[in-house]
Amino acid sequence: MKKLLSLLLSAVLVFSMAACGTETKPEEKVEEEKPVTDEVPAKTDSEKGILMVSFGTSYNETREKTIEAIEKDVTAAYPDWSVRRAFTAQTIIDILKKRDNVEVDNVTGAMDRMLADGIKEVVVQPTHVMNGAEYDDMLEEVSAYIGKFDTIRVGTPLLTENEDFNSVISALFANIPEVSEKDTAIVFMGHGTHHFANATYSQLELMIHGAGYENVFVGTVEGFPSLEEVMADVAACGAKKVILYPLMVVAGDHATNDMAGDEEDSWKTAFTEAGYEVECRLQGLGENEGVRKVYLSHVENAIKAEPLKAVEEANVTAGEADPSNQALLVVSFGTSYNETRKETIEAIESDITAAYPDWEVRRAFTAQTVIDILKDRDKLEVDNVKQAMEKLIAEGYGTVVVQPTHVIPGLEYDDVVNEVASYKKYFKSLTVGQPILVGHEDYEAVVDAIAASVPEMAAQDTAVVLMGHGTHHIANSAYSELQNTFRAKGYEKTFVGTVEGYPTIDEVLAGLESSGVKKVVLYPFMIVAGDHASNDMAGSEEDSWKSILEKAGYEVEPRLQGLGQNKNVRALILKHLASTIENRGSAAAEPAEKSEVSFAFTGGSGKTTITCEELKSDNQAVIQFSSTKYTYVQIGETKYMNERQGENSTFTIPVNVNGVTEISAETVAMGEPRVIEYKLYLYTDGTDAAKEAGK
């Protein structure tokens, strides 16, 4: 629930300005299907409501077997509650209304309806697989209703806790007898996302292998692991037959076309052309009774959880906020080990100071214990986030960017976002940057950075073990994606584990045993080589990793080198900071008034249209192609991946407001990938975009 609240609070840092104006465009042809006949009636005489939120699907048969099956289970389990439905995909809602005359609310519509019906206690339970962009968007919509109901509680997606992963694994393989056949590979195809939750797929695969199913692989259409990585793994396992399953709640458009279609770019075609016997099974996760029980358990947990709360704004004496007074607040967990602090945190701060000489660079630590030790022992004063923010306010800084040095977007990062959010009204612009590992390109950069500085990774008789901290937060999956990235890049003898999360030292030991090495070099996968590195990793106690590995018969050499000592890791932090500064948004006391937006585009053959769905206050636009086949949009050197499954390709990109934005967009509609150039015209100053596009 802490993650739910943090996402809610973080949303206040950037306000949405308005939905973008769009022109009427021709619609995609939609295949006719039989009408919906089996709806779940909503109980209307209760003051307690459960809102089941799904992405949705226009495939009626699979919806009945999946989404409606989940809703029926919840209705049966909670007869005193009014169980409602909402879809997040507006395109699907529109298709169902036009084609089948079926009304489905979006999240806002459903919340409004419950309010009008006198519901007082609300539980919102998503059927999303992971805590990704769809889930974040849902939380932001729900947060607008805090205070309008007595309570609002939000459940977690399918794969959140380690317990969820284990339950889903058990449910899946209870119904797949071929999993025990050595010549058969089971491949699950997920959607994939640009969101950090994409790491969920890697954790699921590693935990599947840990459960003994070595011939099972997980890939994604639009994330990591890709089809290429999956095919390499299938080839390595020696399988002759491949069974494909969708790793999605419903077996809809992606399962039917991207997985099981006859087009050149489908997974079925790729495996068939590679010489495998291929069988496709269009079974959504919602058809599995064991999976539905996991959702039921999440509803139960949500009912018992703490309700969502609004942001409590700080109340301090403010100076004159001048936008030209710019400050960078570098936030670290901190360490009481002075030498490693100088080599890591201070090195990062020095790089930032050199890169941004016109900005005031400040420091804050999140660990109050460390702050107190430094003050008592060394007479060294370090601010916590609250103190640092209030000093910036008092000194009249109007533009502030907060850059964390955290490795993953976990609990510590959430706490920073939450605390910073409470000061939003005091600044003209206030933005929080990203931690080190967010997109997959970050993982690849970190792997390359470590490989360049760890010579043992090239040795044949030595394994490299990286020890991370670990967390119960969903971002713990980052360690699994890092492990898979090392493997995908050919570093088969590099292993990642955690002190307090997954993978554990037990998984590391299993990997070492299969590698056949005799020597292990230990490195901390943390910004600083502090207490955990000195004691949990390199200590002489029985439960240190050094002692455990030595007891298992390995020659062990610990290296106390924090990630902050690696110049390439520091360069990645600077890259994130540069992106944050470039795209920073406004955090004024009140949202800007909604502006009328005029939008048009040029380019392409005319068969595909582009609409602007939303313009956000940080000059980020949500654009949508009328085709399902667009994979990415590129601006300069940066690629933005398709965000949503469904009938339209959707991207959130930075745009030139009151000007022209040139983009390149890749489509696979013609078999082979093809890049098409477009120009986007977007104006809020009264200019007619269509006229500008026609000049």
pLDDT in tens, 157-210: 999 999 999 999 999 999 999 999 999 999 999 999 989 999 999 999 999 999
pLDDT in tens, 248-285: 999 998 999 999 999 999 999 999 999 999 999 999 99
Asked if residue 66 has pLDDT above 60, the reply is yes
Phi, psi of 188 (to 5 degrees): -105, 130
Which range of 444-458, 632-646, 678-692 scores highest in mean pLDDT? It is: 444-458
Q: Identify the pLDDT of residue 42.
A: 54
Q: b/e string for 49-64 if b means 16 or more Cβ within 10 A?
A: bbbbbbbbbbbbebbb
Q: Identify the pLDDT of residue 14.
A: 35
Q: Inter-axis angle of helices 289-304 and 67-77, to 10 degrees?
A: 50
Asked if residue 2 has pLDDT above 60, the reply is no
Chain-wide mean pLDDT for the chain?
Answer: 90
pLDDT in tens, 385-410: 999 999 999 999 999 999 999 999 99
Q: Identify the pLDDT of residue 3.
A: 41
Q: Identify the pLDDT of residue 18.
A: 33
Q: Identify the pLDDT of residue 542.
A: 96
Q: Identify the pLDDT of residue 562.
A: 97
Asked if residue 594 has pLDDT above 60, the reply is no
β-sheet with 674-683: strand ranges across: 598-603, 674-683, 659-667, 630-635, 638-641
Asked if residue 622 has pLDDT above 70, the reply is yes
Distances (CA, A) of 648 to 55, 140, 193, 358, 609: 13, 22, 15, 43, 10
Point out the catalytic residue in the list 469, 473, 532, 576.
Answer: 469
Asked if residue 439 has pLDDT above 50, the reply is yes
* Residue at 426: amino acid letter: Y
Tokens 């605390």: give the residue.
419
Judged by average pLDDT, the poorest of 12-26, 71-85, 416-430 is: 12-26
DSSP state for residue 180 in the 8-state scheme = G
Nearest Cα to 307, choosing from 418, 474, 154? 154
User: How many residues are present in the chain?
Assistant: 695
Judged by average pLDDT, the poorest of 67-76, 280-289, 319-328 is: 319-328
Of the two residues 41 and 119, the one the predictor is more confident about is 119
Neighbours of 594 (CB within 10 A): 12
Q: Quote the CA–CA distance of 157 and 163 in Å, as a whole number.
A: 13
- Section 12-29 average pLDDT: 35
Tell me the whole-structure pTM to 2 decimals. Answer: 0.80
Asked if residue 534 has pLDDT above 90, the reply is yes
- Section 226-250 average pLDDT: 97
Q: Does the active-site annotation cover 469?
A: yes
Q: b/e string for 175-201 if b means 16 or more Cβ within 10 A?
A: ebeebeeeebbbbbbbbbbbbbbbbbb
- The SS3 call for residue 248 is coil
- The SS3 call for residue 141 is helix
Q: Is residue 660 a contact partner of residue 681, using CB atoms and an 8 Å limit?
A: yes
Q: Quote the CA–CA distance of 544 and 562 in Å, as a whole number.
A: 18
Which residues, 6+ apart, have CB-to-CB distance to 299 below 8 Å?
50, 74, 77, 78, 123, 125, 155
DSSP string, 404-466: E--SSSSHHHHHHHHHHHTTGGG-SEEEE---S-SSHHHHHHHHHHHHHH-GGGG-SSEEEEE
Angle at 206 between CA 205 and CA 209, to 5 degrees: 90
- Section 83-88 average pLDDT: 97
- Section 12-35 average pLDDT: 37
Judged by average pLDDT, the poorest of 250-264, 530-544, 659-673 is: 659-673
448 confidence band (pLDDT: 50, 70, 90): very high
pLDDT in tens, 454-502: 999 989 899 999 999 999 999 999 999 999 999 999 999 999 999 999 9
Structure tokens at 399: 């533009």
Asked if residue 27 has pLDDT above 60, the reply is no
Distances (CA, A) of 39 to 64, 74, 141, 292, 344: 8, 14, 24, 18, 58
pLDDT in tens, 214-234: 999 999 999 999 999 999 999
Q: Identify the pLDDT of residue 536.
A: 97
pLDDT in tens, 339-373: 999 999 999 999 999 999 999 999 999 999 999 99
Of the two residues 242 and 606, the one the predictor is more confident about is 242
Which residues, 6+ apart, have CB-to-CB distance to 597 below 8 Å?
18, 19, 20, 21, 612, 615, 682, 683, 684
Q: Which is it for strands 649-654 and 519-524: parallel, antiparallel or unpaired?
A: unpaired
